[in-house]
Each structure stands twice: as structure tokens, then as C-alpha cells.
Structure 1
Amino acid sequence: MAEDSISRRNFLTTMAVTTASASLAEPSDVVQPTRSRAANMPIKVVCNEKLSEAEVNQIKSAGKNIELQMAASQDALKKCIAEAEVVLGRLDGDTVKLAKNLKWFQNWGAGMENVLSKELIEHPCQVTNMQRTFAPVISETAIALLLSLTRGLTQVSIPAFQKKEYKEADDISLDDLYGKTIGIVGMGGIGSETARRLHYGFNMKVLATDAKPMPKPEFVAELHDPSWLMEMVPQVDVLMSAAPLTKETKQLFDSEVFSKMKPSAYFINVSRGGLVDQDALVKALKEKKIRGAGLDVVSPEPLPASHPLWTCPNLVITPHNSGEAPIRQVRLMALVSENIRRYSNGLPLLNVVDKAKGY
């Protein structure tokens, strides 16, 4: 197979991100890098993440003429970044100012809201992230949060277990998901993975919105642009936030959205806490405007003990750990290595970020 015939779809499939996520790749995700050099010139790569010896060797062997330097601290990064062509890990604005030769920055996470400094946006380098890489694991947490509410684990079973009580769910009615409708805001990796699993596993109808034009997957009944949100909300039994945090999505889920939801509906957030007006969510939960909510992300993090969210009985919170699993690092390193291979061969990079849009 020719090197340039290895598509984003094939790559993501082999690293076990599933064909459903990979099939939603957009042309903007893959951009041809601009590089000119003699064939034997070294590519100076700096990484400021903690890697094992095996992972260091994996990166070095992934591409041609890779010269990898590990920076153990921010000060160490600043000392060597002037000569760096590639940075793997994290970059702040002050460090970007010193990056005179930087051509490509691989962010170590998926979210870009705290990464795209003014300096990085204005810098001519390409930026890539880990979008879709953690989606299979995060989608499991999204479904777990939902099931913990519909099956009464949050409201009854776990509190009873802590008290060593064998308690029936007399004061609440348990619910099922079979044949229900979920509305997903954001059909990137997390949204599409969750949609696929709930449709095929629970026979749920999927409605969705996304800011990027994309083909509608076969497991989605309707897919529209973000302007369709308020039309979608009253139709769903579950509303899920899976969109990136941008200027357009900040506190998107507010009192107006919660007021349009069915009283029997659930709200799930596994993207960023900043997408939610948390005071409005507390009010909706306590006044039973919605039936329950599951959050893997809040604002701020960690959530202070005095925050009113803790006083909502029909709410379950996990500490932004939805992406954690042993396979996380394997998938992350697979993506980094593939992008190193592509960059060193002058091929298009995966997961290129639109700096202006913020994702």
C-alpha cells in the first residue's frame, strides 16, 4: 500500500476508535503540511509529556530522521523550543513566542478552549489534537451516567448500599431506554460513538446537531445545524452535550433549553462544564422541570463542596474521568506516531484544528 493511501478512516479503525467514528471524518480534519528540507535533514521534535522508554522509541521509529528531545519542565521547553520544528504535548502563549521554527504542534488533549492562546492562533504553525481518540471510553461513561439514573442506582441503590439497606425503589419509578429518543449536541467522536451504541444497543432514535457539515450516519434519524436545537429539545427523552466549548457554545444549555425539555427527560454532559448554565440546571432539577442529570464535567473543577449542584438528589457527578482507561495511552500514542509518520513523509496530518473556530 502506498504511504499516502493510508486514510484517516483506516488508521482510526486499526487503533480501535471504531468505524463509526472514523466514517465521520471531514476534509478539514486532514491538511497537507508545508515543509521543505533536504531529504536527510533531521526533524527536531520536542515533547514535554512523560513518556516511557518504549513510547520514546515508538515516536523515534515512527518517521524519517526524527530527532526527539524530551523536556522535563516548562523552563526546559523554553530553552530548546527555538530550534524545534515539532512540539508534542502542551504550549502556553509565552513559549509560543519563542518558537521561531515551529511548523506543527500536537496537543495532548482533545479540548482546545485553554490551549488556543492569542499567540498560538496567530502563529503560522499547524495545530492538531486528540479528537475522537478517547471517544469509545467516554461514550461508555455517558451511557453509564444515563443508566445510573434510569435504573435508580443514583437515587436509591447506591445510597441504600452505603447504609447496608436492602431497599426497593418505592419512591421513584424506574425507567427504560428501549425505543426512546436521544438528542445529541455535537456529533464528533463522543457524540457519534454514543449515538451508535444507543441506537444499535438500545433501539433508541437519535436526533442530532453539529456545526460541521457532515454526512448523516445510518444510525441517526435526523442531523441538522445548531439552529435546530430548540426544535429538537422538546422531542427528546435524553439531551446530551458532546460539543466543544467555544464562544458560540458557552452556557448553551440554559434556562430556556431546560424549560423546553420534557419533565421526564434526562440531561447528560460529557464535554465541558462551561456549556451549561449550572444555576439554571440546579433550578430545573430541584423544581423537577427535568427528571435527572448526569455530569462528568462541571465548572469549576474540582467542584467546591458548597456548590448547590451537590444538593440535587436526582444528579450524578463523576470527576471528569470519563476518558480514563488503560487503552487511552495506547490510542493516544498510535495517533501521535501516525502523525509523526505523516509529517516526516510530507503527508496530510490527522485531526487538524481550525484555530479560528476553536476545534
Structure 2
Amino acid sequence: MGGGSELPATGGASKRELLLCVLPWPEESFKKIWEDIAKEFPQYDLHYYETKADRGKIQLPEEVYKDVVILATLNWVPQSASLVPSLELVQFYSAGLNHLPDKSIYKDSEIPLATASGVHGPQIAEWVVMMNLVHSHDYTRFYDAQKRKEWLGFGGLNMRDQVGQRVGILGYGSIGRQVARVAKAMGSDVLAYTASPRHTPESRRDDGFIVPGTGDPDGSIPSKWYSGLDKESLHDFLKQELDLLVICVPLTKDTTHLLSSDEFAVLEKSNPLGTYVVNIARGAIIDQPVLVKALETKQIRGAALDVTDPEPLPQNDPLWTAPNVLITPHVSGSTTVYVERAFQILHENLRRRRDGKKFVNLVDRKRGY
């Protein structure tokens, strides 16, 4: 346990509020921002438990459960909401909460839940662009030749640059907005898709956490905006002759296997040159056996996947050997400043609690994100 006294103070007017962090990173990795929080908010007892990301069942002293007011965590939560009667906010350090709906703190309470949405935009957008360019420039073929010490000679006439290409972003949140910003800078046309309509300038604004100088804060980049929760609306978006389709939606009951046989058929019919599909969200959003078939039959031009279903991807899964697929092990969101940015969201929400303002990145339990 680190930061503050061994246990929170009890009783009397001087009682301080317990801010508990349960995270898999060493405390030294965020020492500066931890000290900044302690300086600005001396009313909190700051307690830190370092745990591994896969250890979801740690046990804390009863006093901690009883007195915790703010919880910052990657994926650990108390087994029951009744254990934390004073809890006023859970600040998650992940963007997706698809692991949470069956947990008591989600279904049995109204405790505000906030995500780390916004910290991933820059690095994931770079991953998307990197993978798209690796494919479009046929880089893997040249790299393989380099390892063989073979000079392939003149080539590249089949390469198409990004100017004028149409990029469809399925889920226009913080990640999608930064992808849009970079794609626009490269000369591409951007189309956005969201679950709910965004007909007014105000509705297109991004009210979540934004890394300064990134994203699309006012929602002005897309040349056209599509929306809806039904298949007809989704297909209307997919039939827009997309050169690149970037999947950024959260995984919910409604988005599980959102892309399956019908959707790949629409993509194929819409773009004879083939759509390149990129998934940085969750593997189960795509019907994976159908994706393998779409790659084998050239319904799509290729795919770049940072997520699969399941994870880790079994060695005998046919996705590994499908043609024109690039796979990484759920690392596109990694960056040396991830923890620092996530703590910035916690810091902002502490300020909002103090000032009586609405928390940033709040989860809508009905929508699942």
C-alpha cells in the first residue's frame, strides 16, 4: 500500500476521504501526477495497491471497502456494491467496459462509472495508419525479400496513395476522431457512423477527454455522417464505396457480430477494388469465421486486426493463415504516456467533483458505454 497513511482516518471533523487506486503498474511510474493530486486535494487519503492485470480477486481490509469514496482501477471492482457504501465514482483506466455488465457494481448500483476514453486516440490512430500503409505499399513482401537479401527490383505500380480514398469510421468516438484527423491530413475523405443521429453542430462535439491538439473536437471533419442501430442504416453506410473501414465501436450485445456475411457482401458489391478492414475495438464485433472466408474469397482487400475472438488467438485458428491479414496482440493502445494520461482523467474528475460539475467520460449503463 502506498500514498498516505496505512489506513484512512476515522471519526471527527478531520476525517479525510479515501481515494483508492488498484492498478497493475508500479507507483513510481506515475509518481509526479500522484504528488500533484495529493497537493491539490489534501482532503484525500491516497492509497495504492499494485496488482497484476489478471488478478481480479484481491482482498482489501474492511475499512478500505467501507470508507472508499473514489476508486481508480483498470478492471478490478469489489465483488458487491454493498461492500462500498461511500463510493461516489469508479474511474476506470480502460476505454471498454464489456467485462463489467454482470458485475454487481454495474447492475446493482447507480455509482457513476467513468472510462479512460480519450487516452488511446494518438497511438491507435498511428497503428491504423501504419497497418494500412504496410498493406497498401506491399511492405511485407519487400521486408521478406530483405531478410532473404534479395533485391526485387522495380515495383510498386499497384500502390495507391491515400489521396481521395474514402475512409469509413464505424464508431466516431475519441479514437475514430483522431483516425479521421490523420486520414484527412493525408488527403482522404472521411465518413462517420454513430449509433445516434448527429444532425446539429452541438451534437457532433466531443465532450469527453481529449489529448490536446488531437481528434476532432467539433466534429467538423467528416464530409457525411451516418447513424442508426438497424441493419438498413448500417448497410447504407457500408455501401459508400469505402476504401478503408475502421471499426471503433464498443462491444455490447447490439454490436456482437455486427459485421457478418451480409455486411461483407455489401462491402464487396460497393467497392470492386476491395475494402481494407481494420479492427481496433473488440474481436467479437466481427463474426470471425465469416471474416476468414471473406479474406479467402477476396470479398475484402485485406484486414488489420489488433483484436481477435478469442484472445489470445489459438495457434490452430485459421485466422493466422488467412490471406492479406495482419495481426497484433491487442497492443495498439499501448504508449509510454498511457498511465499519465489516464491519471489526467482522474485528476479532472476530482476537480469536477469539487466544483459540483458533471464527471467526464461517464458511462451510460443502458447503452453499455
* Offset, 1:268: 0.7
Deviates more, 1:229-238 or 1:246-255: 229-238
| Alignment partner, residue 8 of structure 2 | none
TM-score w.r.t. the length of structure 1 is 0.83
TM-score w.r.t. the length of structure 2 is 0.80
CA distance 1:85–1:93, change in 2 (3 Å): closer
Deviates more, 1:111-120 or 1:68-77: 68-77
Matches of 2:297 and 2:154 in 1, distance apart? Answer: 21
Question: Aligned letter for 1:44?
Answer: L
- What SS does structure 2 have at the residue aligned with 1:85? strand
* Offset, 1:40: 6.0
| Alignment partner, residue 224 of structure 2 | 222
Matches of 2:98 and 2:330 in 1, distance apart? Answer: 16
Matches of 1:213 and 1:65 in 2, distance apart? Answer: 42
Matches of 1:302 and 1:75 in 2, distance apart? Answer: 24
Report whether the alignment pairs 1:342 with 2:344.
Answer: no
Q: Check whether the contact 2:88–2:111 (CA below 8 A) recurs between aligned residues.
A: yes
Question: Aligned letter for 2:37?
Answer: I
* Offset, 1:168: 5.1
Report whether the alignment pairs 1:124 with 2:114.
Answer: no
- What SS does structure 1 have at the residue aligned with 2:87? coil
* Offset, 1:297: 1.0
Among candidates 291, 310, 323, match of residue 313 of structure 1: 323
How many residue pairs align between the two structures? 320
Deviates more, 1:100-109 or 1:39-48: 39-48
- What SS does structure 2 have at the residue aligned with 1:306? coil
Among candidates 258, 270, 281, match of residue 280 of structure 2: 270
- What SS does structure 1 have at the residue aligned with 2:250? coil
| Alignment partner, residue 6 of structure 2 | none
Among candidates 241, 247, 251, match of residue 241 of structure 1: 247
Q: Check whether the contact 1:181–1:238 (CA below 8 A) recurs between aligned residues.
A: yes
CA displacement 1:311-359 (0-9 Å, x = unmatched) = 1231111111111122222211211112122223433211111112111
Q: Check whether the contact 1:207–1:222 (CA below 8 A) recurs between aligned residues.
A: yes
CA distance 1:341–1:171, change in 2 (3 Å): closer
Report whether the alignment pairs 1:253 with 2:259.
Answer: yes
CA RMSD of aligned residues (A): 2.3
Q: Check whether the contact 2:79–2:103 (CA below 8 A) recurs between aligned residues.
A: no
- What SS does structure 1 have at the residue aligned with 2:277? strand
CA distance 1:266–1:75, change in 2 (3 Å): closer
CA displacement 1:107-140 (0-9 Å, x = unmatched) = 1111010133341222121100101121111111
CA distance 1:169–1:256, change in 2 (3 Å): farther
Matches of 1:160 and 1:245 in 2, distance apart? Answer: 39
Q: Check whether the contact 1:71–1:77 (CA below 8 A) recurs between aligned residues.
A: no
Matches of 1:222 and 1:63 in 2, distance apart? Answer: 44
| Alignment partner, residue 45 of structure 1 | 19
Matches of 1:309 and 1:78 in 2, distance apart? Answer: 45
CA displacement 1:77-130 (0-9 Å, x = unmatched) = 364222211111133461534112211110111101013334122212110010
Q: Check whether the contact 2:226–2:237 (CA below 8 A) recurs between aligned residues.
A: no
Q: Check whether the contact 2:168–2:191 (CA below 8 A) recurs between aligned residues.
A: yes
Matches of 2:142 and 2:156 in 1, distance apart? Answer: 12
Structure number having the greater helix percentage: 1
Unaligned runs of 5+ in 2: 1-11, 52-56, 205-218
Structure 1 vs Structure 2: percent identity of aligned residues?
A: 30
- What SS does structure 1 have at the residue aligned with 2:60? helix
Deviates more, 1:57-66 or 1:82-91: 57-66
Among candidates 277, 297, 305, match of residue 287 of structure 1: 297
Among candidates 39, 42, 58, match of residue 75 of structure 1: 58
Among candidates 325, 329, 332, match of residue 342 of structure 2: 332
Question: Aligned letter for 2:251?
Answer: L
Between 1 and 2, higher relative CO (CA 8 Å, sep ≥ 6) is seen in 1
Unaligned runs of 5+ in 1: 1-37
* Offset, 1:39: 8.9
CA displacement 1:141-195 (0-9 Å, x = unmatched) = 11111111111113x1232233332235869932222101111110000111101
Q: Check whether the contact 1:48–1:77 (CA below 8 A) recurs between aligned residues.
A: no
| Alignment partner, residue 85 of structure 2 | 100
Question: Aligned letter for 1:229?
Answer: L
* Offset, 1:62: 3.8
Deviates more, 1:316-325 or 1:185-194: 316-325
Question: Aligned letter for 1:299?
Answer: D
